[in-house]
Structure 1
Amino acid sequence: MNFTKTTEEPSKYNHLEKMTVKELLTNINQEDKSVPQAVEKVIPAIETLVQEIVPKLKNGGRLFYMGAGTSGRLGVVDASECPPTFGVPYDMVIGIIAGGDIAIRKAVEFAEDSLTQGWEDLQEYNISKKDVVIGIAASGSTPYVIGALKKCNKNGIVTGCITCNLHSPMAREAQFPIEVIVGPEFVTGSSRMKAGTAQKLVLNMISTSVMIQLGRVVGNKMVDMQLSNHKLVNRGIKMIMDEINVDKTTAANLLEKYGSVRNAINAYKDEKNQ
């Protein structure tokens, strides 16, 4: 099967250095507009993967994101935002980047080129059949990720991937591939742009829909969010006021007493029903 890296093909634009700032911004925005449309085309593939993830996490499994460079960073970001947003344990969604955490800020040379290191990194978390591993690579050809997915498959672990090229080696390895085809980048080969945006959108969709399926959202509210700053405390107070129709002082006292929006609302309702 032919594998063409459309993410590496020449930009549709040339002589970028001769463009005005307005021309640069307008053309970048024009390219960015195509990304949500590309994501829309793969909603069925995203749905299939989410339906695999939910029962695993309900049964105590974990979701792993694996990538290198921009892709790895995006996975780490999405994973790190799940606990504060949805109140889940920090080890439920885990982002792993080639080269380790130092690579989040600074590129680690050749970290992505090992076919064995990805699986070794997963071993540190005692990976098992209860878990799900999603590889992330715009190119779909990152050895670090491909090697890890291959070993996961051999060990009966559910695998998915997010890539921006069709028929890539990574997509062929993943049991549940998501291929978001965004085409050439504005700056040739700069896959942190459209490809990165596409990956971010898909990761948002996966983690948010999974958490909703796990009961971590009520109505449309983050009732289990961590109250880690004044903004979130005030948001929690407002949620309680809206849900049980009490004044601000009562809501604040309930939140302080019970520690979360969900617990405060449930406790109040239980007291009313007694």
Structure 2
Amino acid sequence: MIRDRVLEALIWPLGLLPFRWAGGLGAAVGRVFYRVNRREVNNARVNLRLCFPEMDAPAREQLVRRNLIETARSFAQMARVWVGRQLDMSSLIDDNGFEAHGRALLQRGHGLILALPHLGNWELIGESMIAVTPATALFRPPRMAFMDRIMRAGRARTGIVPVPIDRQGLKALHAALQRGEGVVILPDQVPKTIGAAGVVAPFFGHPAMTMTLISRLAHRHKSPVLFCCAVYDAGIGRHRLHHFEGEAGIGDASPEVAAAALNRDVERCARAFPEHYQWTYRRFLVPGSQTSPYSVREP
């Protein structure tokens, strides 16, 4: 498709730019998107209205604008991680005790599940994870084939083994935890159907489709879950890794109880850094529901 070729042509030049410049370019694109991308802006408006009802409308709209800018900035910097000369991650991130925390959890002998919400720049965390343990990462192939190639190659640079969401990929995750290694999963990816892959659980007090995979892995292997996000800190001029151990309830035998615990931890991250969370994601679209909160245009 012509659109795919245009996007691919735009991504490769990012590899020629310094990391910060790529982010600046992405932020400029985000300012444009805020004005012209009605669908994404409406998704963010709906999500923020549902999640922060106490915030007045002008403040929420300012947050929508900042969020579109930061989301585009992060995507451009992720693309810079994937393409071009390999970056020196030690100059871009502040570990903030992540490696020590990860090793302490690994010493329990049940492997480690690293949960990376759609917040900040999760592509910067791979090398820190590899410094802790070999790791296998689950990913959902994007709709655009060229992005699949770019993302796989870029993520493989860190030494993390990427596997798709299929039977072989799931077997690889179980095998990694059985070996006492790590797995990497984005906990707020939205399952397509209710059933083995997903259940409905509260997120910011509203029903949301929630994956069951992390909970099933944690329950079966007794693996601890480590949440982490990389957020830019202007005070140090780098992305700082913020991390905490997930609730024990994530490994509960009840899928609904476990999903609620998982969502509470994702919510904890989103509340801490609301302008950096990917609010353009349709978290509250529940299969089988008669109405969609996204069908009404926000003013």
The TM tier, using the shorter chain, reads: under 0.3
Larger radius of gyration: 1
- TM-score, with length taken from structure 1: 0.26
Normalized per residue, the structure richer in strand is 2
